[in-house]
Amino acid sequence: MTPFPSPRLPLLLLFSAVLTAVLSVGPSSAAAATELVRQVCDKTGDSRYCFAALYSDPRTPNADAYSLAYISFGLAYLNATHTRDHISRLLSSPALADRSPTLTSSLQSCRRGYAAAVAKLAAAYNDLNAETFAGLAEYSGGGARAAGDCDRTFGSSPYAPLMAGRNRDLTRLCEICTAVSKLFT
């Protein structure tokens, strides 16, 4: 009475067995990766943040320097993209320009900076695809610049907290990228 099991099921089991085998290629590679992550994070100003950010990606425990570069530039790229989009949403709020022209112009300046950061981090990604490593540090520096410029644009304005957390995130993520870039020099 029971129907034949779907042919997909055994296939799925096979896949998951293969995946398990691939993922457990031995504790030594995971330990080496952890050593690599430590080497990178020790070069950043906030190593706890660095660990948390890198280990948010499931590939990190088995990552070599090359994969770690993908992971960290990917994190910075996504972060910058999210913040750029967030600024655009703030700017498209209809009441904003009336409420505060200064806030509007600060946000516009931040959006330009973040758009430039996104372009730099995308360029880093292209370089990684081409296995070209010489420009990586400059790209991560360019990403961090957007965050610093945005902070300075707000200065001591009461609106500064609106962007401060996001600027700090991008600064720290780019710091990780800079540390990873040094693995290739």
- Give min distance, CB of 11 to ligand NAG, in A: 35
State the virtual CA torsion across 47, 61, 84, 87 in degrees, nearest 10: -60
- Give min distance, CB of 46 to ligand NAG, in A: 11
Query: Segment near ligand NAG (CB under 6 A), from 20-28, 73-81, 127-135, 153-161?
Result: 73-81
- Give min distance, CB of 80 to ligand NAG, in A: 8
Residues binding ligand NAG: what is the number (CB under 6 A)?
A: 9
Contact between 37 and ligand NAG (CB under 6 A)?
no
Contact between 83 and ligand NAG (CB under 6 A)?
yes
- Give min distance, CB of 96 to ligand NAG, in A: 19
Contact between 82 and ligand NAG (CB under 6 A)?
yes
Binding interface with ligand NAG (CB under 6 A): 53, 56, 75, 78-79, 82-83, 166, 169
